[in-house]
Amino acid sequence: MPALLNRSLVIHPYLVDHASGSYLHLADGRSILDACGGAAVAVIGHGNAEVIAATAAQMQRTSYIHTGAYTTTAAEDLAKFVLECTTAVNGKGIQFTHGLKRAFFVGSGSEANESALKIARQYFFEKGELQRQHYVSRRQAYHGNTFGSMSISSVVGRRIPYEGVLLPNISFVDPAFEYHYRRDNETEEEYAERLVRELEEHFLEIGPEKIISFIAEPVVGATSGCVTAPKGYFSGVRSLCDKYGILLHFDEVLCGMGRTGSYFAFEQEDGGVLPDIVTIGKGLGGGYVPIAAMLVNDRIVDTLRRGSSVFNHGHTFQAHPTACSAALAVQKIIRREGLVSRCGDMGIKLGQCLRAEFGHRQYVGDIRGRGLLWALEFVKDKKTKTPFEASIGFGAQIHQAAFDLGVAVYPCVGTVDGVVGDHILLAPPFNISEIELDIMVSTLRRAYHETSQPHSLT
Ligand SMILES: *Cc1c(COP(=O)(O)O)cnc(C)c1O
């Protein structure tokens, strides 16, 4: 019996002995190509010597300080570096971009989103708009597992035991999910316009003067599998938020830090959509340390400075020097080696391979992606886009078949509405080799072939 409370109390997870580059080496001697970076985390692969050296050096210099009284250059430098992060940076010197002015480092994406919920409320508190107590989020969104961040998430299964206990002052609008929800008689632009119209109706129903923020993933990660918004959607959302004084919070915990081929996923939205708050996480430390961040724009910083002049929030391990130093080493490697644009280029290649290999397959309904974040969505009937019954576990079967063949992908269920639907997510390291990319796709082909046999489908 393990002493560790694993995710499952009955199934024991695989024991990893060591990991290097794109591979996990299991204690039983098998090697697994990590095609999903855990959960889109391992952006530069495992075991990078430069990151390890930087982390050890920071530990030797200063392993911990409490931010109530102290700061470190590791944390200050990382904040500066991250705020400068923009796909446009090409040695033109320091550029503070996107209006994001301060970074707040925490230990997880959930904590980053908690911090965002709190600073957004504090912003209106300082402005005297005390009636703003409501958040609007989207269905089919994941923002974390703590009470606040789960309250703004709509992952149906995970919420069930906590219904009645989660925060009540949150409502959900439809996701921007073309494959399932754009009507046949709508163009992409018309679909975007309808969603923005529905969002405004929702704001008006709640009372826009009561709303704190609207929260969305620019590219939806795990819940529905790399879903990008229709053209014009986010600029419409930004205008609505401006019209009613509502803050716009982008959750880029999964899609940010280069994953989609630009540092921030929102950089690829038409019309230069700028958020008030961005949360980042998974790719920030690349898995070397637990670290995530909340970034806020000058509007928020200035309001707090003029008001109480403190952020009424904090954690023991915030801006942890060792974590910050590891993340800074990861980010420096990404910038130096041009890995964000490589991620974009490799993503185009991966997309072409996936379309060539799976475009015509009977049970592959949609192939979608941006950068090195791709999803295959599986359906029972391609014409009607009808998903498999949940009991078949099509995605889980593909995942297991691929794993047995030596490639780890990220399986997800509830793609369509939180209950039915299957997809797998691919999110390899930005520095994955072309050969490894080929192994990934050819292994997936074999896994698909095994899973699509009649005996697997009943
Ligand atoms: C993973 C994730 C989170 C939660 O991050 P944790 O580090 O697991 O707490 C929040 N938002 C999105 C979009 C995520 O993918």
Model confidence pLDDT, tens digit, residues 17-71: 999 999 999 999 999 999 999 999 999 999 999 999 999 999 999 999 999 999 9
Verify that 256 and 319 share a domain, yes or no: yes
Q: Which residues of 392-410 are buried (b: 16+ CB within 10 A; e: fewer)?
A: bbbbbbbbebbbebebbbb
- 175: nearest Cα among 111, 125, 219, 131: 219
Same domain as 361, residue 232:
no
The pLDDT value recorded for residue 88 is 55
Residue 5 included in any domain: no
Same domain as 385, residue 282? no
Bridge partners of 24? Answer: 19, 32
Q: Is 265 in the pocket of ligand 1 (CB under 6 A)?
A: no
Residue 335: phi and psi, rounded to 5, are -70, -45
Rounded Cα–Cα distance for residues 350 and 429 (Å): 12
Which CATH number do you get for residue 278? 3.40.640.10
Query: For residue range 421-454, what is the model confidence (pLDDT) as tens digits?
Result: 999 999 999 999 999 999 999 999 999 999 999 8
| Same domain, residue pair 344 and 385 | yes
281 lines ligand 1 (CB under 6 A): yes
- CB 37 less than 6 A from any atom of ligand 1: no
Is residue 110 within 6 Å of ligand 1 at its C-beta? yes
Same domain, 148 and 160: yes
Q: Do 61 and 197 sit in the same domain of this protein? A: yes
Query: Which residues in the chain come in under a pLDDT of 50?
Result: 89-95
Asked whether residue 330 is domain-assigned, the answer is yes
What does pTM read for this prediction?
A: 0.97
Take residue 420 and report the two structure tokens written for it.
């039915």
336, 353, 369 - which closes a domain: 336
How many angstroms separate the CA atoms of 446 and 79, rounded?
44
Token pair in block for residue 450: 């095994």
Find the 382 Cα to ligand 1 centroid distance in Å. 31
Q: Which of 281, 313, 336 is the last residue of a domain?
A: 336
Q: Classify residue 159: in a domain, yes or no.
A: yes
Pairing of strands 31-34, 407-408: parallel
**Which residue out of 108, 110, 149, 228 has the highest number of ligand 1 atoms within 8 Å of its CB and is therefore the one to mutate?**
110
Atom of ligand 1 nearest to the CA of 141: 13
**How many angstroms separate the alpha carbon of residue 222 from the centre of ligand 1?**
9
Per-residue tokens: 11: 């199934």
Split into its structural domains, the chain has a count of: 2
Q: What is the pLDDT of residue 91?
A: 45
Say if strands 422-426 and 373-378 run parallel, antiparallel, or are unpaired.
Answer: antiparallel
* Residue matched to tokens 């292994």: 443
Distance between CA atoms of 382 and 364, rounded to whole angstroms? 7
CA of 143 to the centre of ligand 1 (A): 5
Q: For residue 209, give its domain range.
A: 54-336
> Is 228 part of a structural domain of the chain?
yes
Give distance in angstroms: CA of 253 to centre of ligand 1. Answer: 5
Residue 257 shares a structural domain with residue 224: yes
CA 40 to ligand 1: nearest atom: 15
Same domain, 324 and 417: no
- Going from the Cα of 29 to the center of ligand 1, the distance in angstroms, rounded, reads 31
Give distance in angstroms: CA of 22 to centre of ligand 1.
22
Does an H or E element contain 179, and which?
helix 178-181
Residue 247: C-alpha distances to residues 135, 294, 362 (Å): 10, 14, 43
CA of 307 to the centre of ligand 1 (A): 31
Q: Residue 103 is encoded by which pair of tokens?
A: 């970074």
Whether residue 255 has its Cβ less than 6 Å from ligand 1: no
Task: Give the distance (Å) from ligand 1 centre to CA of residue 38.
Answer: 12
Packed helices 339-358 and 434-451: angle between N→C axes, nearest 10 degrees: 30
Contact 219, 176 (CB under 8 A): no
Pocket flag, ligand 1, residue 138 (CB < 6 Å): no
Q: Judge if the beta carbon of residue 142 lies within 6 A of ligand 1.
A: yes
Residue 398 in contact with ligand 1 by CB distance below 6 A: no
